[in-house]
């Protein structure tokens, strides 16, 4: 078998190589780009959650300071009520003062429980954020892999495309020359 007949018979193979090369180049360009975009979106979402977490922490700090002030005020008020209660002889007045003291204690305990709930929520959010940070770190490592995919796809696609195109062009030229010679001989 002559090389020219091989080239003309392998025309479909060269077309396949050429088209494969184009597909590999396109795949190498768009697949890693899509993955990088997904990663960027996840990083933005993570940064948003971190910002919200910082805001919640600021609010919690403010609430704790307000609770401290309220507790200090309530303690002063309770101490004043206890002193005034000791000076009053009537049991009904003492009971009214005791009710006020109990009411202050109840409000303080409720405030403390609310702050404790917020603190627990923030602790849960911190754990969630830390886990998401690990996911982001893993995705950044995957981005490096996608970058290597790009180089592999591009290199293989470029080589396959060039080889396929050159040999397809050569086989087409040989086939046309052969057809032209046959037409001339008729």
pLDDT of res. 7: 55
CA distance 166 to 174: 12
pTM for the structure as a whole: 0.55
In a domain, 131, yes or no: yes
Q: Is 185 a domain residue?
A: no
186 lies in some domain:
no
pLDDT number for residue 2: 60
Residue 137 domain boundaries: 3-180
Q: Is 125 among the domain residues?
A: yes
pLDDT in tens, the chain (186 residues): 565 555 556 778 888 888 988 998 888 888 778 877 888 888 888 888 888 888 887 887 787 778 778 777 877 877 776 777 667 767 777 777 778 778 877 887 887 888 788 778 778 878 888 887 888 788 788 878 877 878 888 888 899 999 999 988 888 888 888 888 888 887
Does 104 fall in a domain? Answer: yes
Q: Residue 162's pLDDT is what? A: 92
CATH number for the domain including 72?
1.10.287.1490
Question: Could you give the number of structural domains in the chain?
Answer: 1
| pLDDT score of 166 | 92
Task: Identify whether 162 is part of a domain.
Answer: yes
Q: CA-based angle 70:72:77, to the nearest 5?
A: 90
Separation in Å, CA 143 to CA 12, 39, 153, 154, 171: 36, 8, 15, 16, 41
Whole-number pLDDT of residue 4: 54
């Amino acid at each position: 078998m002559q090389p020219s007949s091989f080239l003309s018979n392998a025309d479909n193979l060269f077309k396949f190589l050429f088209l494969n090369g184009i597909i590999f180049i396109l795949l190498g360009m768009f697949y890693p780009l899509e993955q990088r975009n997904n990663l960027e979106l996840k990083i933005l979402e993570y940064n948003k959650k971190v910002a919200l977490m910082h805001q919640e922490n600021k609010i919690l700090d403010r609430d704790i300071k307000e609770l401290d002030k309220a507790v200090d005020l309530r303690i002063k008020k309770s101490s004043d009520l206890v002193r005034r209660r000791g000076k009053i002889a009537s049991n009904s007045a003492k009971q009214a003062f005791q009710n006020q003291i109990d009411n202050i204690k109840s409000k303080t305990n409720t405030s403390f429980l609310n702050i404790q709930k917020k603190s627990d929520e923030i602790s849960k959010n911190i754990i969630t954020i830390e886990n998401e940070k690990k996911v982001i770190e893993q995705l950044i490592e995957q981005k490096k892999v996608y970058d290597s995919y790009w180089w592999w796809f591009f290199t293989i696609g470029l080589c396959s495309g060039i080889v396929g195109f050159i040999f397809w062009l050569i086989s087409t030229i040989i086939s046309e020359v052969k057809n032209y010679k046959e037409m001339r001989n008729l």
